[in-house]
């Protein structure tokens, strides 16, 4: 545009110089007419040139905008496709790393939970077996002592009663036997009540000590337990508790059988001795009343056996019931404590798993951000290169279009100047001829 203006200005200056030189020689009226015609011709030519230049510029800018939009769309499509591929690759790698990290963490936690469970269950089994053995040993010893004391007292009282009764008549013997049997019943009942009270008290003390030790050891074990999953722990607990119940039931049955057998043997021996001593006393003292005394003794011994058997059955039933209640309470407390320990361990495991996941997610986010920054840097660099190439091409095309338009405008301006100069020369020649004709 600057060159066109400069050339147009030079052409106008040349034309104006020539016209001024020619018009200086013509009269003033011709000069005014020529100036007016020259101004009109210049305005028409400049209007046409401006309109053509505006149309050419609009066409060139439209083409350039369309080409730039197409180039940008192609570049953005390529960049979006490359960005999507890069994101998919990065997300696949991050997902694979996250899955591997989760599998490693869960494997470690499962292994630690299995080890802690095995240790705790082994200790609980050993402690329960020790407590059962101690309690059953104490019960056996106390029962044996109570039986020995009761049988000693019974022997002594029976010997005294027999010595008093054997020196009297049958009626006095019957009265003495009735009094002795009443006393024996009362003393047996008192001895049984004392034995049962002592056994209850000692069993309660043993249970309290066992439960205190178990609570302390379970509290220590809780701190070391990391725990397994709830389903596996519930299954393992059910199996272990079933085994423990079965073993406890077997141990109880064996111990109670042995106690019954020993009690039966001791009673049989004591009763045999009493029978033998009573038979000897009866044979020495009461030869005449042997048959009647034997009958009364058999009835008394039958009643004693029956009452002793009933007392033994009641005592054993109460002991079994108390032992079952104590076992149920102990097992309930152990289950409750184990459930609490499981809940705390699971809470800690969930917290540790959440922390591990947060750390892994943070690392993956950082790696993703780094990968995105690298990809965006590469894409920005490629976009800048593509824009520079497109802008270079567009500048080259614009320069070519401007050169073509300027060539056309120069040609049209030269033609317009030649036409205007021809008309002006023709009019000047006519004016000169008219002036010369007048002169």
Q: What is the pLDDT of residues 199-220, one digit of tens each?
A: 677 767 866 776 677 677 767 8
- For the chain, the three-class secondary structure string (H helix, E strand, C coil) is CHHHHHHHHHHHHHHHHHHHHHHHHCCHHHHHHHHHHHHHHHHHHHHHHHHHHHHHHHHHHHHHHHHHHHHHHHHHHHHHHHHHHHHHHHHHHHHHHHHHHHHHHHHHHHHHHHHHHHHHHHHHHHHHHHHHHHHHHHHHHHHHHHHHHHHHHHHHHHHHHHHHHHCCCHHHHHHHHHHHHHHHHHHHHHHHHHHHHHHHHHHHHHHHHHHHHHHHHHHHHHHHCCCCCHHHHHHHHHHHHHHHHHHHHHHHHHHHHHHHHHHHHHHHHHHHHHHHHHHHHHHHHCCCCHHHHHHHHHHHHHHHHHHHHHHHHHHHHHHHHHHHHHHHHHHHHHHHHHHHHHHHHHHHHHHHHHHHHHHHHHHHHHHHHHHHHHHHHHHHHHHHHHHHHHHHHHHHHHHHHHHHHHHHHHHHHHHHHHHHHHHHHHHHHHHHHHHHHHC
Q: What is the pLDDT along the chain (439 residues), one digit of tens a residue?
A: 566 567 667 766 776 676 666 656 655 666 567 667 767 766 776 777 678 777 867 787 777 778 778 877 787 788 788 778 877 887 788 788 878 877 787 778 778 777 877 786 777 778 777 867 776 777 777 767 867 776 777 677 767 766 676 667 667 657 756 676 667 677 767 866 776 677 677 767 866 776 677 677 767 867 776 666 677 767 766 776 777 678 767 866 776 777 677 767 876 776 777 677 767 866 776 667 667 767 776 776 777 678 777 877 786 777 778 777 877 787 777 778 777 877 787 778 788 878 877 887 788 788 878 877 887 788 788 878 877 787 788 778 778 877 787 777 778 777 877 787 777 778 777 877 776 776 5
């Amino acid at each position: 545009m600057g060159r066109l203006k400069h050339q147009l200005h030079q052409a106008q200056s040349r034309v104006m110089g020539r016209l001024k030189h020619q018009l200086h020689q013509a009269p003033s009226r011709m000069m005014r007419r020529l100036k007016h015609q020259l101004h009109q011709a210049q305005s028409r030519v400049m209007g046409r040139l401006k309109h053509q230049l505006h149309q050419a510029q609009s066409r060139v800018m439209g083409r350039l905008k369309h080409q730039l939009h197409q180039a940008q769309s192609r570049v953005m499509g390529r960049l979006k496709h490359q960005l999507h591929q890069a994101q998919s690759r990065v997300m696949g790698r991050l997902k694979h790393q996250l899955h591997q990290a989760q599998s490693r963490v869960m494997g470690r936690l499962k292994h630690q939970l299995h080890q802690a469970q095995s240790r705790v269950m082994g200790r609980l089994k050993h402690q329960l077996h020790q407590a059962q053995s101690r309690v059953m040993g104490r019960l056996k010893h106390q029962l044996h002592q109570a039986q020995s004391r009761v049988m000693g007292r019974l022997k002594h009282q029976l010997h005294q009663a027999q010595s008093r009764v054997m020196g009297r008549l049958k009626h006095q013997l019957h009265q003495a036997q009735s009094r002795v049997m009443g006393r024996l019943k009362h003393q047996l009942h008192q001895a049984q009540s004392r034995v049962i009270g002592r056994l209850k008290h000692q069993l309660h003390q043993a249970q309290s000590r066992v439960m205190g030790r178990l609570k302390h050891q379970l509290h220590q074990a809780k701190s070391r337990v990391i725990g397994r999953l709830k389903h596996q722990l519930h299954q393992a607990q059910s199996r272990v508790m079933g085994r423990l119940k079965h073993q406890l039931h077997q141990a109880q049955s064996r111990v109670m059988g042995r106690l019954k057998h020993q009690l039966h043997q001791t009673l049989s021996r004591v009763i045999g001795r009493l029978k033998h001593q009573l038979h000897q006393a009866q044979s020495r003292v009461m030869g005449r009343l042997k048959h009647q005394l034997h009958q009364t003794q058999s009835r008394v011994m039958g009643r004693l056996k029956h009452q002793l058997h009933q007392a033994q059955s009641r005592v054993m039933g109460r002991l079994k019931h108390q032992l079952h209640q104590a076992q149920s309470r102990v097992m309930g407390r152990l289950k409750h404590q184990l459930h609490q320990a499981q809940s705390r361990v699971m809470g800690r495991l969930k917290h540790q798993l959440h922390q591990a996941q947060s750390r892994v997610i943070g690392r993956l986010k950082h790696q993703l951000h780094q990968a995105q920054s690298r990809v965006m840097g590469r894409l920005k660099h490629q976009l800048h290169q593509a824009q520079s190439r497109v802008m270079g091409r567009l500048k080259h095309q614009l320069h070519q279009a401007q050169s073509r338009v300027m060539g056309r405008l120069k040609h049209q301006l030269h033609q317009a100047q030649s036409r205007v100069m021809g008309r002006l020369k023709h009019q000047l020649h006519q004016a000169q001829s008219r002036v010369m004709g007048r002169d």
